[in-house]
Amino acid sequence: MMQKMQTVQRRLIKKTEVAISQEVQLRDLERVNYELKKRLISRPKEPDLAEQLNRCRDTIKARGRQIKASCQSVYHQTDYY
């Protein structure tokens, strides 16, 4: 009978240790989750990103027009010779 009680006590101790370690892991994960949420909230908003994309797109279009104009002027210059 004493041996059964000791075995049950050992199992209970092991299960308690497992439960405690899982609680610690859960707290760590909750902390990481909180930190990630905090970072997401503090990130720059999407309109700023859209604004940058629009500026880049406009710059690319303008450079494309310049290249086309340069190509046309080169083409016209070679036509005369």
What's CA 73's distance to the chain center, in Å?
46
At residue 45, the pLDDT reads: 67
Q: What is the pLDDT, as a whole number, of residue 55?
A: 93
What phi, psi does 23 have (nearest 5°)? -65, -40
Hunting for tokens 């503090």 — which residue is that? 42
Q: Record the pTM.
A: 0.48
pLDDT surpassing 70 at residue 81: no
pLDDT tens for residues 17-72? Answer: 999 999 999 999 999 999 988 887 776 667 777 888 899 999 999 999 999 888 88
Give dist(CA 2, CA 5) in Å, integer.
5
